[in-house]
């Protein structure tokens, strides 16, 4: 990490959907802010020179020829595990993983110990992130005290501290009246509620998608209806209350269709999915691989197709990681007992870039879903390269291939079903609040 | 033959038939006055049962002793598992004793698969969660072969709680591999919404067992009551219980099977359980021969 007074990123393809900008040019970072963006037009030919050098005047020059220069990615669904589960992840290691993955803003979910359901815990997270974090951290508070689904948490007071949204992630608010009140209450403020949509009475301790594979493996299934029933309920509640609702980690065709219909009716909702829901299916569980155990569970080819359609037509606004690091000892267990989750920060960008390769999204649309839209939904001033914005900039080498090796993850969580995959797209240089991180020089967690 | 028998799906038709034939020759041994063979003298087996079991455990233990194995029973209630030891550590500890075979029963599906990857010992699945019970499927096939001359072409109706039955899961694959037709019969709540490919599903038991060569009844686990799978055992018996009146719908020489333990009067009428067509006790006898064959044949 280094902080130069002035950094000059030259000759990259600068893309900023917030400004409708896509062209070759220069971007200058000064004092932690974006000082100037200058589009010149055509790409200039690559010259032999060092990629990054400081000149005598104290200005650092980064040659971004052949690279994309984009806004730092914003992950609105992260688990940083601190306080309470530091053996799984810490704010320090989690934000380092974010930088490695091209994310400059992370939004940790409140299911820590203690739960982030009050201003004291929120303040702890924010202070810790200021002191040890490598990138920006915008905490998500709990909707209800202790995530018990009964009494509202102090959402207003937590907002004063810096919480940007509220969710009982992983423990859905089962009581419809409590959810209705929570949605109604948000109307006095600007923040959204993020709903982990799962009817627990239907999922009933199931551990994978209910279907042919669950029959084959003798594992208890979670039907798609467990997600869809709850999305239906929350859409109805958003409609009746006018509260701001964001639906987390959409995984089924039925969910995409429900959200599409609700949006067409003018109901104010947004939705996200995660890379694993468009990259792999329930077949990844074959062999009882606990690294493929995630909630909601991996679904079918048809669901994957529907998720892609939803991303393409704008039904799904956001790609988030649901980065859920766990200790290796917790995943090498009986399938029923292993916790759900995938360590996703360091593979999300490359997996999502395959959507561009496949023609599902343009690179501009992808950046909307990974930077601009989450910033807008959360009301944070990130996800853009506008002049005077916080300098969160990522330089991506889109052609660079790498083999996923969790042993080199910065995250403490090595739990990924993508081990050994060859992916393309490396965030070579990441600038967070003006601080420059060179991921190519970076040598892994112990480096 | 593979190193382990964790899933009936892992062994071919030929291997399945070889196991059945070997079991039948061991059965001849079991009829002798001296029932023990020195086949595996000097080898050690650990029976690792994480779930209460009397029948299967006894059957395995007897089979192991008939093969002259040294037998260790690792009783979970008295082991470190209750002290919080992880499954992996338990397995590594047992492996360090220098054992050759591990027979495992566990309430979670997939555990024998998991353990087989972690140990050099041969792993035999003695029942994992709701997933599989491969030696039960093999002993059922042995029983059918002995009584019917073969499994190929048989119409087999499996009746009851299919959803939670590892016996049914292993039997479906084993029977279809051997060329039988399989019907699954029971209340819709207890049959998977996505049944295995190739089986026929019947909610009406009369239709389901009509003309069948084998009627295999499954145990209704009484703890399923009150969970809305069916309203009462009385109603269950009316629609899916095997009564003498219903049995006449099956082939006149149909075999009545049950993996035990039975709930008389709930899934099977008492007189049917004891009728001449019932081969329930033969299944128990064949279980020992099959378990001898499996342990003997694994590489």
Pairing of strands A193-195, A245-247: parallel
pLDDT value for A47: 52
CA-CA-CA-CA torsion sign (A95, A101, A104, A106):
negative
* CATH number of the domain within which B56 lies: 3.40.50.1370
- Rg of chain A over Cα atoms, rounded to whole angstroms, equals 21
Domain check: are B39 and B174 in the same one? no
Using DSSP's 3-state secondary structure scheme, residue A327 falls into coil
Q: Which residue of B has its CA nearest to A223?
A: B193
- B119 CB near a chain A CB, below 8 Å? no
Sequential DSSP letters for A159-202: HHHT--EE--TTS----HHHHHHHHHHGGGSSPPEEE----HHH
Helix or strand holding residue B138 (H, E): helix B134-148
A382 and A71 Cβ atoms separated by less than 8 Å: yes
Domain check: are B159 and B36 in the same one? no
Give the pLDDT band (50/70/90) at residue B228: confident
Give the pLDDT band (50/70/90) at residue B222: confident
Sequential DSSP letters for B192-210: -SSPPTT-EEESSHHHHHT
Asked, for residue B266, whether it belongs to a domain, the answer is: yes
Q: What percent of chain B has pLDDT over 70?
A: 98
CATH architecture under which domain A72-378 falls: Alpha-Beta Barrel (3.20)
Q: Is the pLDDT of residue B78 over 60?
A: no
Beta bridge partners of B216: B158, B257
Number of domains in chain B: 2
For each successive 10 residues of chain A (447 residues), what is the average pLDDT? 78 96 96 94 57 66 96 98 98 98 98 98 98 98 97 97 96 96 96 98 96 96 98 98 97 98 97 98 97 98 98 98 97 95 98 98 98 98 97 96 97 98 97 92 48
In chain B, which residues have their Cβ closer than 8 Å to the Cβ of A219?
109-110, 129-131
- A56 CB near a chain B CB, below 8 Å? no
Domain ranges of chain A: 72-378
Gap from B130 CA to chain A (nearest CA, Å): 5
Give the integer Cα–Cα distance in Å for B101 and B116: 10
Domain check: are B216 and B257 in the same one? yes
- B54 CB near a chain A CB, below 8 Å? no
Asked, for residue B169, whether it belongs to a domain, the answer is: yes
Q: Is A303 a catalytic residue?
A: no
Give the integer Cα–Cα distance in Å for A101 and A97: 6
Give the integer Cα–Cα distance in Å for A33 and B282: 82
Q: Which residue of B has its CA nearest to A207?
A: B109
pLDDT value for A2: 57
Beta-carbon separation of B108 and A335 below 8 A: yes
Give the integer Cα–Cα distance in Å for B232 and A394: 63
Its domain, for residue B185, covers: 134-279
What the block records as the tokens of A243 is 């509260």
Helix or strand holding residue A391 (H, E): none
Domain check: are B251 and B289 in the same one? no
The beta-carbon neighbor of B194 closest among A212, A219, A329 is A212
- Helices A224-241, A176-185: axis angle to 10 degrees equals 40
Q: Name the residue among A424, A429, A316 with its Cα closest to residue A365.
A: A316
- A403 CB near a chain B CB, below 8 Å? no
What the block records as the tokens of A277 is 């829901």
Give the integer Cα–Cα distance in Å for B242 and B214: 12
Domain check: are B154 and B65 in the same one? no
Give the pLDDT band (50/70/90) at residue B278: very high
Domain check: are B120 and B223 in the same one? no
Q: Go through A51-73 and write b for each residue having 16 or more CB atoms within 10 A of its CB, e for each that does not.
A: bbeeeeeeebbbbbbebbbbbbb
Give the integer Cα–Cα distance in Å for A214 and A222: 9
pLDDT value for B81: 66
- B10 CB near a chain A CB, below 8 Å? no
Asked, for residue B268, whether it belongs to a domain, the answer is: yes
Q: What percent of chain B has pLDDT over 90?
A: 90
Give the pLDDT band (50/70/90) at residue B54: confident
Asked, for residue B3, whether it belongs to a domain, the answer is: no
pLDDT value for A48: 46
Using DSSP's 3-state secondary structure scheme, residue A99 falls into helix
Beta-carbon separation of B195 and A215 below 8 A: yes
Domain check: are B67 and B156 in the same one? no
Give the integer Cα–Cα distance in Å for A279 and B206: 46
- CB-CB neighbours of A309 under 10 Å: 16
Give the integer Cα–Cα distance in Å for B10 and A181: 53
Taken as a whole, chain B contains a residue count of 299
- Helices B134-148, B55-66: axis angle to 10 degrees equals 70
Beta-carbon separation of A335 and B86 below 8 A: no
The interface predicted TM-score of the complex, written ipTM, equals 0.90
């Amino acid at each position: 990490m280094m902080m130069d007074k002035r950094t000059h990123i030259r000759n990259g393809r600068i893309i900023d959907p917030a400004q409708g900008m896509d062209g070759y040019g220069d971007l200058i970072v000064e004092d932690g802010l974006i000082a100037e963006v200058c589009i010149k037009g055509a790409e200039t030919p690559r010259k032999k020179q060092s990629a990054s050098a400081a000149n005598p005047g104290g200005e650092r020059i980064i040659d971004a020829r052949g690279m994309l220069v984009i806004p730092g990615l914003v992950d609105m669904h992260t688990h940083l595990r601190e306080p309470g589960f530091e053996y799984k992840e810490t704010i320090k290691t989690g934000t380092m993983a974010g930088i490695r993955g091209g994310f400059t803003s992370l939004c940790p979910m409140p299911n820590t110990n203690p739960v982030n359901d009050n201003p004291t815990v929120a303040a702890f997270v924010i202070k810790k992130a200021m002191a040890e974090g490598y990138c920006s951290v915008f905490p998500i508070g709990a909707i209800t005290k202790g995530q018990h689904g009964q009494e509202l948490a102090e959402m207003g007071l937590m907002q004063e501290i810096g919480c940007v949204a509220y969710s009982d992630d992983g423990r859905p608010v089962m009581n419809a009246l409590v959810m209705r009140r929570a949605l109604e209450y948000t109307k006095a403020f600007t923040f959204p509620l993020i709903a982990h949509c799962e009817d627990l009475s239907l999922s009933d301790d199931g551990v994978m998608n209910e279907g042919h594979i669950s029959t084959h493996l003798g594992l208890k299934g979670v039907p798609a209806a467990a997600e869809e029933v709850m999305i239906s309920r929350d859409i109805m509640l958003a409609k009746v209350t006018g509260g701001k609702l964001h639906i987390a980690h959409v995984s089924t065709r039925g969910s995409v269709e429900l959200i599409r219909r609700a949006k067409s009716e003018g109901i104010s909702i947004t939705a996200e999915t995660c890379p694993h829901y468009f990259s792999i299916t329930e077949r990844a569980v074959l062999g009882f691989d606990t690294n493929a155990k995630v909630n909601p569970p991996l679904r079918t080819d048809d669901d994957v197709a529907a998720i892609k359609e939803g991303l393409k037509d704008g039904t799904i606004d956001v790609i988030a990681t649901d980065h859920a690091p766990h200790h290796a000892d917790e995943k090498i267990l009986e399938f029923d007992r292993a916790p759900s989750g995938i360590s996703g920060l360091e593979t999300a960008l490359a997996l999502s870039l395959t959507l561009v390769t496949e023609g599902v999204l343009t690179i501009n649309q992808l950046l909307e879903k990974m930077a601009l839209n989450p910033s807008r939904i959360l009301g944070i001033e990130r996800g853009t390269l506008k002049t005077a914005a916080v300098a969160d900039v990522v330089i991506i080498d889109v052609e660079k291939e790498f083999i996923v090796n969790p042993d080199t993850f910065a995250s403490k969580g090595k739990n990924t079903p993508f081990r050994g995959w060859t992916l393309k797209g490396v965030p070579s240089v990441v600038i967070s609040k003006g601080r420059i991180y060179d991921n190519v020089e970076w040598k892994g967690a112990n480096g | 033959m593979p190193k382990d028998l964790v899933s009936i799906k892992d062994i071919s038709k030929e291997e399945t038939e070889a196991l059945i034939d070997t079991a039948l020759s061991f059965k001849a041994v079991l009829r002798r006055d001296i029932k023990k063979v020195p086949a595996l003298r000097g080898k050690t087996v650990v029976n690792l049962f994480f779930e209460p079991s009397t029948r299967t455990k006894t059957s395995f233990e007897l089979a192991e002793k008939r093969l002259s194995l040294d037998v260790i029973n690792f009783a979970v209630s008295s082991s470190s598992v209750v002290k919080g030891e992880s499954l992996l550590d338990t397995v590594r500890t047992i492996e360090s004793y220098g054992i050759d075979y591990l027979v495992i029963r566990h309430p979670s599906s997939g555990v024998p698969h998991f353990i087989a990857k972690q140990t050099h010992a041969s792993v035999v699945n003695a029942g994992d969660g709701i997933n599989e019970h491969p030696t039960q499927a093999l002993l059922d096939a042995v029983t059918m072969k002995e009584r019917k001359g073969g499994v190929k072409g048989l119409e087999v109706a499996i009746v009851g709680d299919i959803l939670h039955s590892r016996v049914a899961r292993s039997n479906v694959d084993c029977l279809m591999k051997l060329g039988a037709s399989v019907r699954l019969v029971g209340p819709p709540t207890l049959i998977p919404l996505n049944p295995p490919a190739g089986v026929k599903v019947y909610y009406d038991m009369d239709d389901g067992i009509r003309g069948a060569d084998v009627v295999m009844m499954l145990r209704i686990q009484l703890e399923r009551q009150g969970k809305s799978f069916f309203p009462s055992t009385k109603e269950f018996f009316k629609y899916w219980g095997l009564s003498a009146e219903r049995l006449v719908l099956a082939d006149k020489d149909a075999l009545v099977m049950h993996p035990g333990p039975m709930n008389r009067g709930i899934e099977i009428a008492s007189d049917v359980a004891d009728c001449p067509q019932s081969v329930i006790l033969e299944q128990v006898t064949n279980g020992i021969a099959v378990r001898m064959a499996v342990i003997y044949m694994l590489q």
